[in-house]
Amino acid sequence: MASYDAASNPRKFVRDTESGFESNFRLGDARALAFLSLPNGWHHERLWPSALAAAELLLVVPWSSPALLQPLNRFWTKFGLLLHRIANPIVMGLRFYGTILPTGLVMRPRGGDLLRLKREPDAESYWICAHAGASLEYRPMLLGAVLQATGNASPGAIPAKGRYTAVDLGRFARRYNVPLIINPNFPINTLNLMRCITGVQLRSPDSFLGFVKLVFDALWVRELNLGDDDVLARLLRQGGFDPAQVLGWASSDAVKTALRGTTDEAVRRGVFGAPSVFVDEVLYFGQDRLDFVREALHDQ
């Protein structure tokens, strides 16, 4: 059977499908007109001649000369689009202002959260360390250097695995009720960004967790390209940080040495990717191993 790309030749697609659509559409009209004449015949013992005549005409013409119905078909299509433009905003407005808005106004003062947008501090995935009486220590590292040192590769380097990883991350985002958008700029050069994170951890530890949240939100919710220094500087200002100060920390020898040290340490301890979690000297790789982390903490 011959085939062609409708997108590359839309006019040909319209011409090829037009006659069949007109035939089917007019046959439907004929059935409707014939049906409308039946109640009159049932109740008044007299069929509507005009309706039956129109039905017969619409039964004959599609088979004999379907092209004659093109003007009517086009008029009916445009009329339907006009009705859509008029009726759709009205219907959607009635639905929104008549049901959604009043429901939100009633539920908001009562603390309703149908979309589960609020954090759930009692959920299993939050505060694993706090529940076990343990402490969590963040160790920034250069993932690219770890992958190179261990002979590993990013999931994005394998197309099939990259596609699957994107889907799987979406599953975890829904499970943990957190926003996630795969950044179209990914992968980016994170060297300067990781130096900034290390600098904040060393020079302003009280701001560290807020800085990490700011970066994660920018990468995986706002889709920003943090590999661009100008974008990074704007983000720092928006987050209440002094770009000159943070970038100055990032360029210092102390911060560069510290980041190289944590990266080398990660490789020595057997890290081959991220996220990696240690409970004492036992490694757990991947966000899907948090259950094992929880068990290990509670067994201590």
> Which residue, chain included where needed, has tokens 């037009």?
18
Angle at 231 between CA 167 and CA 275, to 5 degrees: 40
C-alpha–C-alpha distance, residues 70 and 3, integer Å: 24
Q: H or E stretch including 284?
A: strand 282-285
| Amino acid 269: pLDDT | 96
Task: List the domain boundaries for the chain.
Answer: 10-89, 139-268
pLDDT at 165 over 80: yes
Report residue 3's pLDDT band, with 50, 70 and 90 as the boundaries: very low
Q: H or E stretch including 277?
A: strand 276-279
Share of the chain above pLDDT 90, in %: 37
Please give the CATH number for the structural domain made up of 139-268.
3.40.30.10
Average pLDDT on 221-250 reads 93
Residues with Cβ within 8 Å of 36's Cβ and at least 6 positions away in sequence, in order, are: 48, 51
pLDDT at 274 over 70: yes
C-alpha–C-alpha distance, residues 241 and 300, integer Å: 39
Q: Which residues pair with 276 in a beta bridge?
A: 285
Q: Tell me if residue 153 falls in helix, strand or coil.
A: coil
Average pLDDT on 63-68 reads 65
C-alpha–C-alpha distance, residues 191 and 195, integer Å: 6
C-alpha–C-alpha distance, residues 18 and 67, integer Å: 9
pLDDT at 267 over 90: yes
Q: Dihedral sign, CA of 47, 51, 57, 63? A: negative
Average pLDDT on 201-209 reads 93
